[in-house]
Amino acid sequence: MFEDLKRKTVLITGASSGLGAGFAEIFARHGARLALAARRVEKLEALQRKLVDGGADVQVVALDVTDENSVEAAVNAVTPHIDILVNNAGVATFGRSLEISASDWDKTLDTNLRGLFLVAQAVARRMEREGTGGSIVNISSITALRASRGLAAYSASKAGASHLTKCLALDWAAHGIRVNALCPGYIETEMNAGFFETPEGLALIARTPMKKIGRISDLEGPLLLLASDAGRHITGIDLPVDGGHLVSSL
């Protein structure tokens, strides 16, 4: 299973921390060639050194998904071609809907929706030009599929990302490009680990049917299914990975 990844190049955006860095380790373990992209190049280079020490082939590209020129340059810099895009760069904004500022709204939508589209489009143009086809995995969220208090801008951006996924899957199927969305529930990373020990974090875990918080390793199988030839007949779906959070009782 996933043997085809050994012949593939994977561009991962937002690879400088959290899920993106974890996804890089997963693909490296499966023998894929990697291109790591984000704004904090020094963090990408630290991860590159670690993965190269483990035998992986890893390039680093500077990328700001809110800047069209940066997107174009980053996508064209990846060699020899791009087979898989993990469109993961994102920002989270919290706050009551009555108080969201226009600049927070813009930053959230510019990164999570406009930026996600610009990267997908640049990669798909390259796949179409080079006649390779490929797989795009957009990292959405369960907040795309169900309302969550205090997350209006973020949820709207992720709902946009999930619907965009279906539109692009339809548009690009003829070019052999599959487009799917992975919708994680709450996943523990270094940055939020403390939260799940607070009363709010423990209450959140208690509300989740499987009564546990997700880990990056829980995303491995679903991510590789969508990215690799194992999912060759799957396009245009949202795949929630959330311990049943979406089906919690009303």
Ligand X SMILES: NC(=O)c1ccc[n+]([C@@H]2O[C@H](COP(=O)([O-])OP(=O)(O)OC[C@H]3O[C@@H](n4cnc5c(N)ncnc54)[C@H](OP(=O)(O)O)[C@@H]3O)[C@@H](O)[C@H]2O)c1
Smallest gap from Cβ 250 to ligand X, in A, equals: 21
- Helix then strand count (H, E) for the chain reads 8, 9
Q: Which stretch binds ligand X (CB under 6 A): 39-47, 127-135, 144-152, 193-201?
A: 39-47
Q: Which stretch binds ligand X (CB under 6 A): 11-19, 48-56, 77-85, 171-179?
A: 11-19
Which residue in the set 14, 134, 160, 231 belongs to the binding site for ligand X (CB under 6 A)? 14
User: End-to-end CA distance of the chain, in Å?
Assistant: 38
**Near ligand X in 127-186, by CB under 6 A:** 139, 141, 184, 186
Which residue in the set 18, 201, 221, 236 belongs to the binding site for ligand X (CB under 6 A)? 18
Contact between residue 83 and residue 46 where contact means Cβ atoms under 8 Å apart: no
Which residue in the set 2, 9, 20, 82 belongs to the binding site for ligand X (CB under 6 A)? 20
Segments of the chain assigned E as strands:
9-13, 33-38, 58-62, 84-87, 134-139, 177-184, 187-188, 214-215, 238-241
Spatial separation of the C-alpha atoms in residues 55 and 189, rounded to whole Å:
25
- Decide if residue 17 touches ligand X (CB under 6 A): yes
Smallest gap from Cβ 164 to ligand X, in A, equals: 13
φ and ψ of 182, to 5 deg = -95, 130
Spatial separation of the C-alpha atoms in residues 157 and 134, rounded to whole Å:
24
Which residue in the set 59, 66, 121, 148 belongs to the binding site for ligand X (CB under 6 A)? 66
Contact between residue 188 and residue 208 where contact means Cβ atoms under 8 Å apart: no
- Decide if residue 107 touches ligand X (CB under 6 A): no
Which entry of 154, 155, 157, 186 is annotated as an active-site residue?
Answer: 154
Which entry of 155, 157, 158, 162 is annotated as an active-site residue?
Answer: 158
- Decide if residue 108 touches ligand X (CB under 6 A): no
- Residue 158: active-site member: yes
Angle at CA 229, nearest 5°, toward 58 and 161? 75
- Residue 141: active-site member: yes
- Residue 154: active-site member: yes
Count of chain residues binding ligand X (CB under 6 A): 29
What six digits make up the tokens of 23?
A: 């996804």
What six digits make up the tokens of 194?
A: 């403390």
Contacts with ligand X, residue ranges (CB under 6 A): 13-14, 16-20, 38-40, 43, 63-66, 88-92, 111, 115, 139, 141, 184, 186-187, 189, 191
